[in-house]
Structure 1
């Protein structure tokens, strides 16, 4: 399991351990009898070849004793360089900088290796910086506790052997960090070589347990994203956390459409991969925090890396993400809020909503918008679209009402796109594409339906994977971001949610990644935005990729056909997909 000790972290730790004085300086020589004083301050840490280099500013006062008093000979200011080789101490739970070399640096940059100042300070300097020790035993102990929780099918002796084998190894100095690895030994679980037996169908109780497990996993991912987002003001990192969460939700949506199994392999891999994806972002955020607080973050990162490594070893490891394991991960994030971090709720979460809103708002348009006016795409007049008192909630698109129903839905979608554009920025040249994208997406997703008849009752249009209503906004993906009841029963709310998501994907992914520069031109923005809408942010280029499943190719092809019809002014062709089949989602 890799650990990266970035140099900003090492600097914080050096200051905390060696320069822990009110003014941040440290006297390494203070000898009243010899009348010598040498003070270090403002250390910096970086790599030099295969060693760690610590530089610090030096102030020296050298003198001689004369009848009980000191007579100053000279004062000196300059710098010092210390080179140390990081080594593992006995027990392999901590590392130390083994002194290799040091020198003084004069104000003109020249190196000093001799003289009275050198003689007075060199040995103390080497001992001072050589005393720096980074103890990672608490982090290894925390990791050992997690291994107890996620390897439940081993006896106490086997588990203790795994924990005892935890050690640091393979330490090396790179340009950006000191890299080391946490090693541990794990034996595969013995398996009996017997013919495979048919697996009995899961009981209702087992299905309920599996549901509770993935819900707790999803809740913990949400809690982690909110916790780390609150710890940084850098929008780039906050946006990346949001992207990881939403992408993980799309993966969860797909995993939950697979037949459930007792070992829950697909859900386990989804959670571990998602947790592992957080690691680089958490490292970047952690660098903004100092000293031991940073190391507290390290436990969660290292735990994620360890789970990922174990999962790669396959079924012989018999890895299980238990409730105890999830609680331990939650404690690594915030020991005081374990229950809150694991609480699954369908309520709207203001923190998630804020992350999404700021993500859209801070994605600036790719060209200046010098005018509020643009040529507005519309199938109908603005006056008709904005007519008061008109609601199509709980309308069903039956054959004898299509001529009234479809224009109202079209107007609703246009009005929704218009309002979304008023609230958020989008380059003027892309606005018409966006408006057509909203219409075509609703056509592709629902045939412009919010409701259908189920068992002689009006019910929200729902797919097997949990997509809801006019824009087929997935309940599992967007839990916490939007009000699920309103997504189901309010066509206006559903259309606004879908339009907002589409705008986020267009601005943040399609435009920023230059999809309009690919063959096909500016219309690619619609195609890329829909690919992301259907498959998650990571699928923004799916529409033009050769390595795509046939089912996804078909989805993107059908959307492109509908978009072209909307672009040609033929959005009312949506009536064709309503034909005889009015009871379920469109193909």
Structure 2
């Protein structure tokens, strides 16, 4: 209790007002702030936790009384959990058999079947033990009408059923301990001791019942961390040197792997078309954003954190619906995961108080709360991911197998005769990276291992597909045949009313012309190499970005198999057409050439820049302020409209 001011001794020689000012000035910076981290238990999850705690028999039943060879037996079943807005409503079916056992017989047995509904107030103690206090109860008969029980039956319900349900206790200490360790992993070494003290002081607020969940705020007191009076804001610091960018790249790849790991948890769930679209949107948006940030030299210390927070806010409702945690082994891990993920979304407030930030180890620990399996950062084709996203089975590998040597983009043997250096590759309009990003590409992990040597074609076959060795008048018709075939294989009717397969073929031809000038291989330093963009990200005939489409396509096949590269490009175009453009009202009539030309340019913009172009290209079209890539593609699309268009392809080198 505070001592009254008049009972204190006034210090000699120092006016009381000055003393108070001094005390207030000293106390201000160290004043503790209350941290609130939500621990939210959705009502379906709460029901599952109660079932695992109290309904032990198959079929979500439990026999709480069984005596005299089952002459006296009470069984509970079909538990349900709901809410009236302020309190929990717990309902359970009850079956009572009760008689008098005599000489192995059960005389005058009573039988009653109905249900009990309890109105309960959840309470939690300092040891994180969650209990449920019964405020009111009502019995119902089999028809759902309030039951009028005889004294014996009512006493049995009161003595045994109420008593048993009153013992249900859920231990929430494990998920809270997981959260503490998870957050400690995100703390810098210099702040570890202070953060440990704050985490040790975590305690629960009393539960609050909402219509959909039981919320228990985790409370802690923390003083702002003293950064030495500096004004720097490291969270917004731009990563300008190679080491800083390498660190962020590595962290982002762990985040990307964690996202794919998280999506993989939905493999056996009944996902709707909208669910699959949302997952695809988030994955592509995350990857295109990273691509753009790296190309624009805009990576900051907070980039990965911001991506995680925004993505989790979008995905959280979907995962809450589908991750029902229906096995006892996964319950606490499931709750731990959601609590930790929700805690990370409060980093804007937690960071200054705890020195918390997202780390690679944190992503691994977060993923392992759901599944102990390793995060896959290899980039190999992930069939489960493709199926979840609605892309179907992995592309079948064509007969032409990928040549290559480990760790190299060179063909397996040197070209015998010297050749002239090929002209510079046309700048791929896919993902305009700055030159600095190209230098950073070497920091990214190597791609998948190449195919085994016994699957490689001979050098003669490889030379026949190489620009600069095979004359343009021979190479172009061969590539043309491949593109027509992949277009025919990929086209499915009806995609968009008013379109046909010939339009799609023209679309693929114009895209290949724009992206690579119909080249899969070129000559460099007297070696055959696959065509790669200047920033080392996009590969081959259709210039498929390996980072954006990792896990969806086989990187080695993209590099060394021209058929496979064409198939992947056609599938991406069809994906954007079917899953994005076709869902929007037509801006123009597709019955005339102008409408089909507009659609082609719109589709190429998505192929080039990702889902964000769904809105951005129509805006450019309205103002006429087109990108250079928009104009170049439109020119090529216009040219591919007659039998003599190959004569205008002047970007292939002569032998």
Shared fold per TM-score greater than 0.5: yes
Q: 1:43 to 1:201 in 2, by over 3 A?
A: closer
Structure 1 counterpart of 2:588, from 513, 520, 529: 520
Q: 1:15: Cα distance to partner?
A: 1.9
Q: Partners in 2 of 1:176 and 1:93 — Cα distance?
A: 21
Post-superposition shift, 1:151?
1.4
- Three-state SS of the structure 1 residue aligned to 2:346 is helix
What are the equivalent positions in structure 2 for 1:358-437 lying under 5 Å apart?
359-360=391-392, 393-396=465-468, 408-421=478-491, 426=495, 430-432=499-501, 433-437=503-507
Matched, 1:498 2:596: no
C-alpha displacement of 1:139: 0.7
Task: Deviation per CA, 1:64-114: give whole Å up to 9, x if none.
Answer: 799998753742222221221233x12173432221211111234321366
Alignment of 1:544 with 2:632, yes or no, is no
Relative to structure 1, the CA distance from residue 564 to residue 487 in structure 2 (aligned partners, 3 Å threshold; closer, same or farther) is closer
**Within-5 A mapping of 1:467-486:** 467-486=538-557
Q: Secondary structure at the match of 1:280?
A: helix
CA distance in 1, matches of 2:304, 2:327: 35
Shift of 1:534: 3.0
Answer whether contact 2:476 2:646 (CA < 8 A) is retained. Answer: no
Note the 1:48-59 alignment, pairs <5 A: 48-59=84-95
- The correspondence for 1:96, drawn from 131, 151, 174, is 131
Which SS does the other structure have where 2:486 is aligned?
helix
Q: Which deviates further from its counterpart, 50-59 or 197-206?
A: 197-206
Say if 2:358 is the partner of 1:321: yes
Question: Could you tell me which of 608, 617, 621 is aligned with 1:534?
Answer: 608
Q: 1:344 aligns with which of 361, 377, 380?
A: 377
Change (3 A) 1:434 1:51: farther
Give the TM-score normalised by structure 1: 0.75
Report the Cα distance in structure 2 between the residues aligned to 1:249 and 1:568, rounded to whole angstroms.
35
Shift in Å, 1:175: 3.6
Deviation of the 1:133 alpha carbon? 2.4
SS of the residue 1:96 aligns to: strand
Equivalent-residue separation in structure 2 for 1:147 and 1:347 (angstroms): 31
> Using a 3 Å threshold, how does the CA distance of structure 1 residues 70 and 212 change in structure 2: closer, same or farther?
closer
Supply the RMSD in Å over aligned alpha carbons. Answer: 4.5
Contact 1:150 1:320 in 2 (8 A): yes
**Displacement, 1:207?**
5.5
From the superposition, tell whether residues 310 and 502 of structure 1 become closer, same or farther in structure 2 (CA, over 3 Å). same
1:239 CA drift (Å): 6.2
Q: For 1:168-222, what per-residue CA distance to the aligned partner results, in whole angstroms no more than 9, with x for missing partners? A: 4474434433344444445443234457799999776665555444333333333
**8 A Cα contact 2:255 2:360, kept in partner:** no
Structure with greater proportional helix content: 1
SS at match of 1:98: strand
Residue of structure 2 equivalent to 1:135:
171
Distance (Å, rounded) in 2 between the aligned partners of 1:169 and 1:530:
53
Residue pair 1:153, 1:318 contacting (<8 A) in 2 also: no
Asked whether the equivalents of residues 139 and 146 of structure 2 are also in contact (C-alpha less than 8 Å), the reply is yes
User: Structure 1 residues 491 and 139 mapped into 2: Cα distance closer, same or farther (>3 Å)?
Assistant: same
Structure 1 alignment gaps of length 5 or more: 363-388, 583-587
| Residues 279 and 304, structure 1, Cα contact 8 Å, conserved in 2 | no
Partner secondary structure for residue 587 of structure 2: coil
SS in 2 for 1:256: helix
Contact 2:267 2:384 in 1 (8 A): no
Q: Could you say which residue in structure 2 is the equivalent of 1:438?
A: 508
- Give the conservation status (yes or no) of the 8 Å contact 1:99–1:129: no
Q: TM-score, normalised by structure 2?
A: 0.69
Kept after mapping to 1: 8 A contact 2:533/2:539: yes
Shift of 1:350: 4.7
SS of equivalent to 2:576: helix
- SS of the equivalent of 2:188 reads coil
> 2:537: which partner in 1?
466
Q: What displacement does 1:500 show?
A: 1.1
Helix, strand or coil for the counterpart of 2:369?
helix
Provide the C-alpha distance between the structure 1 equivalents of 2:647 and 2:221, rounded to a whole number of angstroms: 61
Rounded to whole Å, the distance in 1 between the matches of 2:353 and 2:621 is 31
1:80 aligns with 2:116: yes
The equivalent position to 1:561 in structure 2, one of 630, 634, 648, is 634
Q: Distance in 1 between matches of 2:525 and 2:381?
A: 30
Higher Cα Rg, which structure? 2
Structure-2 residue corresponding to 1:370: none
Number of residue equivalences: 538
Match of 1:216 in 2: 254
Matched, 1:253 2:291: yes
Specify the alignment match of 2:441 in structure 1. Answer: none
Q: CA deviation at 1:252?
A: 2.4
Kindly indicate whether structure 1 or structure 2 has the higher relative contact order, using CA contacts under 8 Å at least 6 residues apart.
Answer: 2
* Post-superposition offset of 1:148: 0.7
Name whichever of 494-503 and 461-470 sits farther off: 461-470
Q: For residues 105 and 200 of structure 1, do their structure 2 counterparts lie closer, same or farther at Cα, with a shift above 3 Å needed? A: closer
Partner residue of 2:263 out of 225, 239, 258: 225
